[in-house]
Amino acid sequence: MTALHLWLRHEVRATERRTPVVPDDARRLVEAGVRLSVEDSPQRVFPIREYEAVGARIAPAGSWTSAPADAVVLGLKELPYQPGELTHRHVFFGHAYKRQPGAAALLRRFAAGGGALLDLEYLVDDDGRRLAAFGYWAGYLGAALAVLQHRGTLTAPLRPTGKDELDATLRQAPDHDEEFTALVVGALGRSGRGARAAFATAGVDPSCWDLAQTRDLDRPALLAHDVMVNCVLATTPVPPFVREQDLDDPDRRLRTLSDVTCDVGSPLNVLPVYDRTTEWADPVRRLRKEPPLDLIAIDNLPSLLPRESSVDFSAALTPQLLDFGAGGAWGRCLARFHEASREHGLEPGRFGAEGESRRV
C-alpha cells in the first residue's frame, strides 16, 4: 500500500494562527513513514523552519491545488473560493452538514472535482465521541472574553496571547468590579469544562446547566443571569434558548451573551437572535441598547491561544493520522460525507465508500 502523503496547507483566514499538526507530532509522522508536505505560512504560530527540521518538505502557501492526486490536504478552517472543483481528499472543519450558509456550494465543489471531505467534526469513535477537538479552548476563550466584556476591560482588536498572560488578566478585576452571576449552558461537555475553568480563574462561580436543565428550559431563570456562555453543540433541532422576544423582556438581567458554538444560519442554532458572527477586529455586537445586551460570537476562538490549543489538538489527531485508512473513524467520516452529498442530490466522487480501489 502506498505511504500516506499529508499536505498541511496554509490557512487563508488572516486570524487563523493554529495548526492541526505541530512540529513535534510532524516528527512522529515522518518517522512513521508518512510523506509530509507543509506549506509556508507566516501567520502559523509555529515557524516553518521547525517543520523543515523534522523532515517535512516545504511548499509555497496555497500550492495544495497542484498537489499529487493521492495527497490528503489537511487544514482547519475554510478553503479559498477557488478552485471551483476540489479533486483531493480534504481534512478540515467544513461546517457543511447542518445546512449552514455555503454548505451546499462547498459540497458541489467536491462533487464537481471528485474529491471528498473528511470533516474533523465527524471524526468520532465507535460511540460517536469526537476524537480530536478544540472544544475546551473554545469554551475557555468564550468565557474569558465574556468576563472581560462584562467588566468593561475587553479591548479591540483582539490579539493572540498565551494562557499565562490571559489568566493574569482574568485575575485582575478592576477596582469598581461588582459580583455578577454567570451561566454555562452545556456545562458537562468539552467546551463547558473550558468555560467553567475560565470562570474559576476569574473568581466567578457559574451556574452549570446541561441536558437535564435544557430539556425543560426555565427561560426566566436563564434571563436572570448577567452573563451566559453557550457551549451546546446541538445535533437535532431543539427549542431555542434565547428568542428575539426575550431580548425585550422587561425582566431580562442578561447583559453579556457569548456563543461558543456559533451555529448561526443553521436550523440547529439555539440562539437565533443574530445573523452573523463577530470578528477579532470588532468582537462585540450590541443587540439591544436599553437595557444593554452584548454578543460575542467568534467562530475561531481557540486561535487566540494558538500554541496551547494546537498542541492539544495535534496530540489527539496524530494517532488518527497514523491510522489513516478505509475503515474505522476515517471510514465513518467518508460515509457521513456521502450521506450529506446525497441529501443535496449530489453523487460521490472517486473516493467511494467501499472497495479496495476506492479507499479512503
Indicate which residue of 5, 77, 163, 344 is catalytic.
77
225 in active site: no
Catalytic residue among 10, 88, 90, 95: 95
* 95 annotated active-site: yes
- HEC sequence for the chain: CCCCEEEECCCCCCCCCCCCCCHHHHHHHHHCCCEEEEECCCCCCCCHHHHHHCCCEEECCCHHHHCCCCCEEECCCCCCCCCCCCCCEEEECCCCCCCCCCHHHHHHHHHHHCCEEEEHHHCECCCCCECCCCHHHHHHHHHHHHHHHHHCCCCCCCCCCCHHHHHHHHHCCCCCCCCCCEEEECCCCHHHHHHHHHHHHCCCCCEEECHHHHHCCCHHHHHCCCEEEECCCCCCCCCCCCCHHHHHCCCCCCCEEEECCCCCCCCCCCCCCCCCCCCCCCCEEEEEECCEEEEECCCCHHHHCHHHHHHHHHHHHHHHHHCCCCCHHHHHHHHHHHHHHHHCCCCCCCCCCCCHHHCC
The residues that are catalytic are 77, 95
